[in-house]
C-alpha cells in the first residue's frame, strides 16, 4: 500500500503551506516506507508515501503528463495497466515510466472522468488538472483502498489515506458525529460516507468526486455498483463451476504481477487455501505462506494451514500469538483512527509482521 495526502484551495490560488503538507504526508509514512514525494504550486499541494511494487526506479510520485499540467497521487495497483498502456500508446500518448500510475494520468487525458471505468484494480487517487483548475478523486469499486476528505472552514479541500492525515490541518472541526457512534455499536464500524467526525467523510466505494475551483461543492458520483439483475440465459451448474475457477485463476494471476517478493496469508480455510493453490499452479517456485497459531487448541487452526502448505509444497512460516497479547491496543487505535470492532485485528497485525520478514506483497 501507499499513502496519499493533499490540499486544494477550491476558491482561490492561495499559497499552500508546504510544511503543513509534509506533516500531513508524514503521518502515513508507515503506509509508504520506501520513498516520499510532493508537489506544490499556488492553490494545490499533493503528497505521496510510496511502497514500491512496480517500476521500483521510475514510479516515484506525483507523476505528471508530458507538459506537466496534470499530476496524480495514487495508492493501489492497476492490474490491467499493460493492456491500457498499449491502447494509450496507439492513441499517441508517450510514457516515460513503466509504472501503472502513469496509465491513469494518460487515461484522464484520453477519457476524462470515465477513465475509472477502464481500470481493473484497487485504487484511491487524486488528479490535479491545472488547465481545468480542478481535482478529480476516485475510489475503487468495492473500497479496498481508503479515502478520507473534508472541506475546511477556510475553503480548502483536504484529503488523505487515513483520518489522521486530515487531523494535522489546523482549524478542522473535530466534533464527534453522534449517529456515527450509533452506527459503530450497530455495525462494528462507521459506514461510508460518514466518519466518527461530523465534518470528515469517506468517499464511498465505486464513487468519484470532482471539485472545481470557484464552483459549488459537489456531491460524489457513483460509477459502479453490483448488479442484481437476473442473468440470461440461465447457465448450468457445470458452467458456473467452470466460470468460478476461470475467474479466480485470472484474478490471482493479475495480483501476482509485482517486481518484489510476493506471498500469501494461509489460514487453512477454504478461501486462503484456494488462493494459495492457484498461486502454486502459476508460480515457478514455492509460494511463501504465513500463518498465525494460538496456544489454545480451541482457537488454533495452524494444523490445517500446515496440511495445505505441505500438500502444495509452500515455503511456510508460522508464528504463535498469545491470546492475552494486549500490547497492540494503543497502536491499533492509532492506526484505525476511528472506532472499529474487529476481533481479528491483533492476529492480523501479527501475521502482517511475520509476512513482512519474507515478502513485500501478500495475497
Give the whole-number percent of the chain exceeding pLDDT 90: 77
Q: Which of 302, 48, 10 is nearest to 156 (CA)?
A: 10
* Alpha helices in 228-269, H assignment, sequence order: 237-255
Average pLDDT, the chain: 93
What is the pTM (predicted TM-score) of this model?
0.93
CA distance 15 to 273: 53
* Tens digits of residue pLDDT in 304-317: 999 999 999 999 99
* Tens digits of residue pLDDT in 25-62: 999 999 988 888 999 999 999 999 988 776 667 778 99
* Tens digits of residue pLDDT in 102-119: 999 999 999 999 999 999
Q: Which is higher by pLDDT, 58 or 6?
A: 6
C-alpha pair distances (Å), 63 with each of 13, 58, 112, 226, 311: 21, 10, 17, 32, 44
pLDDT at 233: 72
* Alpha helices in 112-258, H assignment, sequence order: 163-167, 178-187, 237-255
* Tens digits of residue pLDDT in 182-226: 999 999 999 999 999 999 999 999 999 999 999 999 999 999 998
DSSP letter assigned to residue 256: T
Q: Which of 193, 169, 124 is nearest to 20 (CA)?
A: 169
Half-sphere exposure of 161 (CA within 13 A, CB side): 27
pLDDT at 55: 62
Answer yes or no: are the C-beta atoms of 152 and 158 closer than 8 Å.
Answer: yes
Does the annotation count 290 as an active-site position? no
Q: Which of 115, 168, 125 is nearest to 147 (CA)?
A: 125
Please identify which of the residues 2, 115, 290, 352 carries the catalytic annotation.
Answer: 2
Q: How far apart are the first and last CA of the chain?
A: 12
Tell me the pLDDT band of 328, cut-offs 50, 70 and 90. Answer: confident
pLDDT at 232: 65
Answer yes or no: are the C-beta atoms of 204 and 182 closer than 8 Å.
Answer: no
Q: How many CB atoms lie within 10 A of CB 227?
A: 7
* Tens digits of residue pLDDT in 249-301: 999 999 998 888 899 999 999 999 999 999 999 999 999 999 988 877 766 78
Amino acid at each position: 500500500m501507499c499513502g496519499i495526502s493533499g490540499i486544494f484551495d477550491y476558491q482561490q490560488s492561495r499559497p499552500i503551506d508546504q510544511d503543513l503538507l509534509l506533516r500531513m504526508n508524514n503521518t502515513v509514512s508507515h503506509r509508504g516506507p520506501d520513498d516520499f514525494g510532493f508537489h506544490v504550486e499556488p492553490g494545490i499541494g499533493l503528497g505521496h508515501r510510496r511502497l514500491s511494487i512496480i517500476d521500483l526506479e521510475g514510479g516515484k510520485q506525483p507523476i505528471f503528463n508530458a507538459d506537466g499540467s496534470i499530476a496524480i497521487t495514487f495508492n493501489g495497483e492497476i492490474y490491467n495497466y499493460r493492456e491500457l498502456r498499449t491502447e494509450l500508446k496507439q492513441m499517441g500518448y508517450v510514457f516515460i515510466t513503466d509504472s501503472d500510475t502513469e496509465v491513469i494520468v494518460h487515461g484522464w487525458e484520453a477519457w476524462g472522468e470515465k477513465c475509472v471505468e477502464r481500470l481493473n484494480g484497487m485504487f484511491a487517487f487524486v488528479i490535479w488538472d491545472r488547465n481545468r483548475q480542478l481535482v478529480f478523486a476516485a475510489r475503487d469499486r468495492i473500497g479496498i483502498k481508503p479515502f478520507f476528505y473534508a472541506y475546511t472552514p477556510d475553503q480548502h479541500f483536504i484529503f488523505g489515506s487515513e483520518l489522521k492525515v486530515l487531523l494535522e490541518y489546523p482549524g478542522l472541526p473535530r466534533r464527534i458525529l453522534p449517529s456515527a457512534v450509533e452506527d459503530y455499536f450497530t455495525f462494528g464500524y462507521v459506514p461510508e460516507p460518514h466518519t466518527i467526525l461530523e465534518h470528515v467523510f469517506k468517499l464511498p466505494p465505486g464513487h468519484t468526486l470532482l471539485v472545481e475551483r470557484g464552483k459549488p461543492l459537489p456531491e460524489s458520483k457513483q460509477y459502479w455498483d453490483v448488479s442484481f439483475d437476473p442473468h440470461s440465459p440461465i447457465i448450468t451448474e457445470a458452467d458456473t463451476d467452470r466460470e468460478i475457477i476461470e475467474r479466480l485463476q485470472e484474478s490471482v494471476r493479475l495480483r501476482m504481477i509485482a517486481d518484489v517478493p510476493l506471498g500469501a496469508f494461509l489460514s487453512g480455510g477454504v478461501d486462503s487455501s484456494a488462493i494459495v493453490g492457484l498461486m502454486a499452479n502459476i508460480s515457478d517456485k514455492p509460494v511463501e505462506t504465513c500463518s498465525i497459531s494460538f496456544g489454545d487448541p480451541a482457537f488454533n487452526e495452524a494444523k490445517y494451514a500446515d496440511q495445505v502448505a505441505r500438500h502444495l509444497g509452500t515455503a511456510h512460516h508460522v508464528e504463535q500469538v498469545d491470546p492475552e497479547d494486549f500490547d497492540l491496543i494503543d497502536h491499533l487505535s492509532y492506526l484505525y483512527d476511528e472506532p472499529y470492532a474487529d476481533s481479528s485485528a491483533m492476529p492480523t497485525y501479527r501475521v502482517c509482521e511475520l509476512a513482512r520478514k519474507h515478502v513485500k506483497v501478500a495475497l
